């Protein structure tokens, strides 16, 4: 009798073990079916080219020949010692990043506050403000190039206003702000959508209670709303920093880095180095340095804003 019970118990354990193993295999296959293709494309499109770029940054490859001569740290030494163009483009891109991040998020958050109110036309306005983000950067740049060169000049003749008579794309300072204006015009609608989603998650009962206690609109905004939606600020600032650093299409279509390379972004500098001057090894070395700097900026920003979230 005891032997039969032991046999039956062992059989049940074996069945459970097989069932558990089958379930585990099924879960693995399910995850592989859904995650596998995306992971494969990510590895092929992102990871492998990244490590290939790291390798080529230590070579003198011209991007065409079948052989790549190993030169070690020569490309990096050349960048730091004898490449003022890259340094200037980096300074321009960093300055542009700070201006673009502040303006884009200020406009995006302002639009979100406005369109989160009970307006009858808010859905239409949300669509209108988001449309620029759908337009491709090159097309957007050429549209605004026409506006700056032809449109503003015509308005300046009719109104005699000095603002419209400025050489918007022909002077270093005005060209810089011209690029900032176009970038903010394109990106602000995208930031607006994120901020609206965050604002809609704020508990209205909390706001009503604060109003009853006598809180002003400014107090509601600074003491309740902004602290509650800090995660949205973290996301939006991260996105705008990365987008501003990587600006290429708007920059190249508006000014092509001019006048006299004064508005040349790092992305344009790397593109010219690798594909116009056929110094692919030097171009990839610049891109690796660029990647490191952008990673440092975004990591510091995320850590700083996340810390504020915890404190709030």
Q: pLDDT, tens digit, for every residue of 201-211?
A: 888 888 888 88
Question: Band of the pLDDT at 193, cuts 50, 70, 90?
Answer: very high
- Listed residue (127, 263, 242, 255) closest to 196, CA to CA: 127
pLDDT digits (tens, 9 = 90+) for 54-87: 999 999 988 888 888 898 899 999 998 888 889 9
**pLDDT tens figures, 255-292:** 888 888 889 999 999 999 988 888 999 999 999 999 99
String of b and e for 92-120 (b: at least 16 CB within 10 Å)? Answer: bbeebbebbbebbbebbbebbeebbeeee
- Residue spans of the domains in the chain: they are 1-56, 74-311
Residue 182: closest CA among 278, 120, 253: 253
CA distance 278 to 21: 55
Determine the Cα–Cα distance for residues 151 and 202; give it in Å rounded to an integer: 42
pLDDT for the residue 8: 56
| Residue 29 clears pLDDT 60, i.e. is over it | yes
- pLDDT at residue 232, as a whole number: 92
pLDDT value, residue 10: 61
- pLDDT, residue 89, reads 93
Mean pLDDT of 239-255: 91
Evaluate if residue 126 carries a pLDDT over 90.
no
Q: Does domain 74-311 have CATH number 3.40.50.20?
A: no
Ramachandran category for residue 264: left, alpha or beta (phi over 0 → left; psi -120 to 50 → alpha) = beta
Tell me: pLDDT of 248 over 70.
Answer: yes
In sequence order, the β-bridge partners of residue 59 are 70
Of the candidates 99, 25, 76, the one whose C-alpha atom is nearest the C-alpha of residue 287 is: 76
> What is the DSSP-derived secondary structure letter of residue 216?
-
Average pLDDT of the chain is: 87
d(CA 217, CA 275): 54
Q: Among positive and negative, which fits the CA dihedral 92, 93, 97, 98?
A: negative
């Amino acid at each position: 009798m005891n032997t039969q019970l032991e046999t039956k118990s062992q059989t049940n354990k074996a069945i459970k073990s097989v069932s558990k193993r089958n379930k585990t295999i099924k879960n693995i296959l399910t995850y592989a079916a859904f995650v596998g293709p995306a992971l494969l494309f990510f590895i092929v499109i992102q990871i492998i080219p990244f490590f290939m770029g790291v390798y080529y940054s230590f070579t003198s490859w011209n991007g065409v020949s079948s052989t790549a001569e190993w030169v070690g740290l020569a490309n990096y030494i050349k960048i730091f010692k004898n490449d003022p163009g890259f340094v200037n483009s980096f300074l321009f891109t960093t300055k542009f990043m700070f201006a673009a991040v502040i303006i884009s998020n200020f406009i995006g958050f302002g639009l979100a506050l406005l369109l989160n109110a009970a307006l009858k036309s808010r859905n239409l306005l949300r669509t209108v403000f988001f449309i620029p983000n759908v337009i491709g950067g090159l097309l957007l740049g050429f549209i605004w190039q026409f506006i700056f060169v032809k449109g503003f000049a015509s308005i300046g003749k009719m109104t005699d206003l000095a603002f419209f008579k400025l050489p918007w794309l022909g002077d270093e300072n005005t060209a810089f702000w011209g690029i900032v204006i176009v970038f903010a015009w394109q990106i602000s609608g995208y930031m607006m959508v994120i901020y609206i989603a965050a604002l809609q998650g704020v508990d209205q009962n909390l706001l009503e209670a604060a109003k009853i206690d006598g809180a002003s609109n400014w107090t509601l905004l600074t003491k309740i709303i902004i602290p509650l939606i800090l995660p949205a600020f973290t996301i939006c600032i991260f996105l705008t920093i990365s987008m501003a650093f990587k600006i290429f299409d708007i920059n190249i279509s508006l000014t092509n880095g001019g006048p006299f390379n004064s508005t040349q972004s790092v992305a344009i500098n790397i593109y010219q180095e690798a594909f116009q001057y056929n110094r692919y090894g030097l171009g990839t070395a610049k891109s690796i340095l660029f990647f490191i700097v952008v990673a440092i900026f975004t990591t510091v920003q995320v850590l700083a804003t996340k810390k504020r979230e915890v404190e709030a």
